[in-house]
Amino acid sequence: MSSSHRRPLALAAAVATAAALGSTALVLPATAADGAPAGPVKIVGGTLDWGVLAGYRAYVTGMAKGTITVADGAKQNEDGSLRFGEPTGQYEPAAGHVVKAAFKGSVTFSSPAPPAGHGFEVKLSDFRIDTGTKKLTADVTKGSATTQDVPLAAVAFAGQSMDGLATTLTKEAGDALGSASYENKAGDPLTAKLEFEKPAPPSPSPTPTKSATPSPTPTKSATPSATPTAPADGPQKILSAKLTWGVKESFRKYVLGAGSITPAGGAAKNGDLFDFALGKGELDAKKQTLNASFEGSLRFQYAAHGIDMTFANPRVAAAGKTGTLYVDVKNASGSKADVPFATLDLSKTDYKSKDGVLALNAVAAAFTAEGAASFANDTTGSLYKAGDAVDPLTLSVAVDKGATLPTGGPTPNTGAAGGTGGTGAAAGTVGGNLASTGAELPAGALLATSGAAVAAGAGAVFLARRRRAVRI
């Protein structure tokens, strides 16, 4: 800009945090993916749509017999509103999950001198948004004078969506547009879509060195191990069962940063995880099939980031070495029953019960496309994708009247897919001490710090593991 000393953009590029937000907050990077980002996250793409005021545009091209000219990369949309691109800026988790972005492009409103027109020319450029101050600013040029960073509108930034946000024109906007009547007038709605820098991959863990000291010879247990039960000839009704699961750890942590997770309807907190009570089901050990439905719901709420999601009535359908976890999902888009939420890796499972109990411990699970889409918002989509890991689940089912379900916490998952356990505490223990949480921005966050969603941010805060449109 010609006549002003442009102060440096305070939103300089920053090193992307290695923690992807898996969730969403405000307009943050897909948050809630793997925890909140440790530092600022750079904006690498996106657009801003705003038309100032439809009535003013109509006045310029109508009564004032003028023109509206876009330049420097700006475009005019079919509805007359304006689009600005090539944003720079960043998401700042430490500053209250604030997004600051500046966009390229300019628009000039002009009218010829009287008597042909009304004789004015005003140029608006370098549009900026700040979710902290909730303002939209721009440089205003009239004649040869440019005033930088003029607050043109207050913007109703709230929650994780930046789609169709209400704007209110300021006194300064009235001065720029040539009429005090524009002050406090509702401006055109504002929509911003942002993409955030992909976080750096985590450093590989060092390879553990083998101990030179031989391990002592294990002593045999005096207690005999559980006796495997011969498979029944057909399907058996499940008499009692318990499912322990937490949805996704990073998302839980994100939400619990300043929100809540409420179990209900048969779900109960078990350490950091949650237990779900049996609804009904059948096990056919010979055919290696299992179908078990459970009762209970988990409601994730994070008002400051616009998150209100409920996951309910999980159902496990397994056949051979694979399975699917189905869940009822309620989010801002509505309610869907029996959503195929995650795939299950049952490659280590033989479906043989021991002392009347089939116990599957820490079964690896990963989002399906439908499961990942459950976290999408209108601005950035989901910070998750099909194949991303969700919390492993621990499941124990009893098919004998006298069988006792194991108690305790799930055995830490060492990478093996769900295996079969014995009876007692060793038989695929079910409880757990994980703190329920959630994550993210835009996006952290979504998208915890949004991350990450954009923002789950989250969750998102979630910072997307890969570049992702932030619809925070």
Q: Is residue 144 situated within a structural domain?
A: yes
Taking only Cα atoms into account, the Rg of the chain, rounded to an integer number of angstroms, comes to: 28
Residues 188 and 261 reside in one and the same domain: no
263 shares a domain with 336: yes
Residue 313 included in any domain: yes
Residue 361, beta-bridge partner list: 419
3-state SS assignment for residue 249: helix
Mean pLDDT of 41-56: 94
190 and 321 inside one domain: no
Residue 61 has pLDDT above 60, yes or no: yes
CA atoms within 13 A on the CB side of 153: 26
Domain range for residue 319? 236-470
Considering only the C-alpha atoms of the chain, give the largest distance between any 2 of them, rounded to a whole number of Å: 106
Q: Give the residue, 460 or 101, on which the prediction is more confident.
A: 101
Q: Give the domain-ending residue among 148, 174, 196.
A: 196
Provide the pLDDT for residue 427.
Answer: 31
Are 46 and 182 within one domain? yes
| 205-247 per-position pLDDT tens digit | 555 555 444 454 554 444 444 445 555 667 889 999 999 999 9
Do residue 186 and residue 52 come from a single domain? yes
Confidence of residue 154 (pLDDT cuts 50, 70, 90): very high
pLDDT at 323: 96
Whether residue 139 contacts residue 169, with contact meaning beta carbons closer than 8 Å, is answered with no
Go through 56-92 and write b for each residue having 16 or more CB atoms within 10 A of its CB, e for each that does not: bbebbeeebebebeeeeebeeeeeebbbbeebbbbbb
User: 185 and 291 in one domain?
Assistant: no
pLDDT of residue 452 exceeding 50: no
Record the pTM: 0.49
Tell me the three state secondary structure of residue 254: helix
Quickly list H helices, 41-179.
54-61, 171-177
CB count in 10 Å sphere of residue 320:
12
The Cα–Cα gap between 387 and 260 comes to 27
Name which residue leads in pLDDT, 20 or 77.
77
Q: Which of 12, 48, 273, 280 minimizes the C-alpha distance to 153?
A: 48
My answer on whether 178 and 285 are in the same domain is no
Dihedral sign from CA coordinates of 398, 400, 406, 411 = negative
pLDDT tens digit string along 283-328?
A: 998 899 999 999 999 999 988 888 899 999 999 999 999 999 999 9
Q: What percent of the chain has pLDDT over 90?
A: 53
**How many Å apart are CA 437 and CA 456, to the nearest integer?**
12
Average pLDDT of the chain, as a whole number: 77
End of a domain among 142, 165, 196?
196
| Residue 317, strand partner residues | 291, 324
Coil, strand, or helix at residue 328? strand
Q: What is the pLDDT of residues 79-134, one digit of tens each?
A: 999 999 999 998 887 667 789 999 999 999 999 999 999 999 999 999 999 998 99
Domain boundary among 175, 196, 217: 196
Query: Sorting pLDDT into bands at 50, 70 and 90, what band is 199?
Result: low
